[in-house]
Structure 1
Amino acid sequence: MVDKQGAHVIADETRAWANLLANNSAQYLQSDNGQVRLKNQLKKLITTPLINHIHVYRTNQDDSIEYFSSYNRNHNYPPISDRISEIAQLSTVQHQANHLELIVKITQAQETIGYLFIQTSLLEKQAFTDRLVYVLLAFLLFSLILAFGVAQSLFNNINQPIDSIVDELGQISRSRNYQTQLSKLPIKELDVLTVNINVLLLRVEKHINSLIEEHQHTQTKNKALEHRLSSRTDALKESNQELLSTLEKLHEFQGQLVETEKMASLGDMVAGIAHEVNTPIGLGVTASSLLADKLNEIKTAFEDKTLRSSQLKKFLNDGNENISIILRNLERAAQLISSFKKVAVDQSSVENRTFNMRDLINEVILTLSAKIQSANVIITMDCPDDLIINSKPGPINQILINLILNSIYHGFDGLEQGNISISIMNLSDQIHFNYRDDGVGIDKTMKTKIFDPFTTTKRGSGGSGLGMHLVYNLVTQALGGHISIEEENKPGVSFEITFPVELAAS
């Protein structure tokens, strides 16, 4: 049966059709051969399957009312008796079992010249609604199957290669065999990641071998020096010369250590990104599995003819929620991989390009999100949304990464929470960059040599002492700018960085 709202809509349509047909029938009531012409005209005008019967009655001069013409929908709807005796009762829409009935006046020059009776079906609208529901259910079922297939495919194509990278890196870390190369992957973005990791591993192996050789060489030199000092004084000049030569080589290796520091920060990001990507993908897989189970339950109930409307409604609500979870987590994983790729490419490049400064900083923060969250650090940024410049994103990336990691490893060591603020301003074709944290700060004796190589508060605990030296070199040499540390006695540390840029049209 049609619900009340549907019946109300059909009643409105019935009144509209009745008034339209009454207006068109007036001219035929007083014309010759009007009955036949009106019947033909009704067949032309009625284009909806909603109308079952039409009767047209004419009013005579003696005020009597007689049947004039009619319309029947088809042979399945045979003529019905006239409703002349029910004109007063049917002046408003009357609801019957499966249809509505109504009689309206036919007027001409504000004079009633006849009446039009109309009967409309309540079943047509219900049949159309039923067909629409079946189509929507079929479309929803197809969409759910398609979503499950896409989610399963993405899981197989993304999660498995990432697990392979994590397993291989774990084996390399345990065996310390850095000559091992990660195998190629079918996904372009992940393959770029493996290529960069392989380059990192080769450089680490080369650096370790160089340090071993240099250490052995230095030991040999020292032994020779001790022997010559004990044997004769003249060997002192020769030994001093050899020491000077060794010092020059150490300066050369300093550049290699700086480069290794860059790659070490990239390695930290690799581990963080691998951990971060696993979480949204795992949630997406869980939601997909749950959705598949619910779908099987609905399918079983449908086939057993025990499906209830409440069960279907709950399935639709749960399905929408699971699909939202899958989409959100897949978009999160794609965003993490995309940001890491951009940061990794920029970090290995010193070429100029045009970029949005705020987007660049957001990509670095997103790439380091694992370490930022584990250290319970809150980062606030004040940077114009439309600050588009032409500069070197690689050095800027490396500066940000080193400053943030320096705050996490040194500034917030032993603290439960930390805050970092980054402020960017454009002043006369120069970028003014203020970086501040509220950590433990830097001792006064360290501030004067903070940018010197091998200066660290973590000596013997993994600190190389090259992080801030690398930042200084990147600001002054790569970007042609200036960096200074604030001398105020406030909690934490503050760095002021300026470097020239070329503004690009936004």
Structure 2
Amino acid sequence: MKYKSHIFSSFKAKLIGLMISVTFISLLMASVGLTVVQVKSFRNSLESSTLSNMEILSFNLIPMLVFDDSDSAQRLLTSLKTRPAVKEAEVYRLDELEGLVFVARYPEGGEHYVHKDIREYITPEFFGEKHYLTHPILLDRETVGYLYVYSVFDELGRFQLEIIGTVVVIMIVCLLLALIIALKYQAILLRPLRLLVDVTEEISINKDYSLRADSTGNDEFSHLALGFNAMLDEIETHDRQQRQAKLDIRQLNMGLEETVKKRTVALELANQNLLATLDQLSQSKNKLVEQEKMASLGGLVAGIAHEINTPVGIGVTAVSHMGELVAQLESEHRAKTLRPQDLDRFLVNANECVDITFNNLGRAADLVKSFKQVAVDQSSDSVRTILMADYLHEILMSLRPQLKKTEHKVELQCAPGLKVRCHAGALSQILTNFIMNSLIHGFEGVDKGVITISITKRDQRISLTYSDDGIGMDADALSRIFDPFYTTRRGHGGSGLGAHVVYNLVTQALNGNVVAKSELSEGLSFEIDFPERENHVVK
């Protein structure tokens, strides 16, 4: 199949096809033109013959129309039997009052029927083999009637078939002659090209670039052979240079192999050192992240300890005062100087001390409870179901020592009954880092700022939006906010790991995603989206 495709796509086949195509198109155009001319000439001769006969018949019909002799007109029309082509003929008399009046019809006895006004055929019309003709009958150049004739020329169809058959035979003979001539002369015309192809194939097989094509002569193929030989000169030179270059490279490679081996050993050693260094850096990074978490927890511990100290101190003072009252009451009782009013005064003071002690110890217990839950969550990777609104209040309670030092406000937007199953510790750490970031960086130079925390649930996914109205940050800082060790307060206590820890907690612990948005003087916001249930445990 491939061989046949090659034959039909060769230049030889294309040349023969071109010659045959040109011959065929030329013969076809000439044959069509000749056929049209011959058919038209034959049709004109038929029409002329019919018109001559109608003129004679019209002349003979004049007295019959003048004297209204329809029987004679009918007999005269019967003479058309000698013309088999005539299928129908009708004679009409032109009356000034009645218009066209029917006189006679051939064949006799047939029904009088005219498709349309016969005067439309005064100009003869051919429709295939059918011919329609209406000839006016004139008397002293005045129309006295019309002769309508309908003919079917079967000989016209036979003539057309004969002409077409003759043309087809001539075309076939001419095409065969053209094919024989093309086959005879294509070998002569394409011999230089065939020799050039032979040289090309031999060079391609044997890689012998010293061969040259025959360039004798002064035709286009000779010029092609000259160009081909010049190209071979360049290829031969290039091939010689390439062989020499390969030899030089082979010798050079032999000398470089030992060097490559030595470099490979050195590179492997360097890679091992680099891998060890990367491992150490990864461990250091993980330690720093854990230190950042512990530092955050340590800050909570210090704040809570300071916060608890106040109610505990008040409770101790109240209990000490109550001890003094008890000692005084006991002394008066032993001295038997205790009066009823002294006992009443003691009871009032004792109740006041109990109330003070109870209220302050309750405050301390609430602080310890909130801190205990938040601290346990931050140090654990367990998944549990939490009431989101209550848990947010516990987180804010643990951050109260830091918030009470400022005039900033925190606004919570969360449905009271919203329950979420997630890593509570990760959520606590995230919000703690956000709030501390706002207090340390976002509200720098801002006296009264507002922090907004909004949490919604839709289709088993939780959306958390945290925003502040602080100083914000530029596009460059925003693009690097989650990079480890990136901070805008280098040397002022910033480690650059807070936002990076948040990113890891959101993507790994919560299996969600976080997006930061900010502009200078427009505050900073974080949008977090994560699934409600998460069973993945961060290791």
TM-score, with length taken from structure 1? 0.49
Of structures 1 and 2, the one scoring higher in RCO (CA 8 A, sep 6+) is 1
Normalized against structure 2, the TM-score is what? 0.46
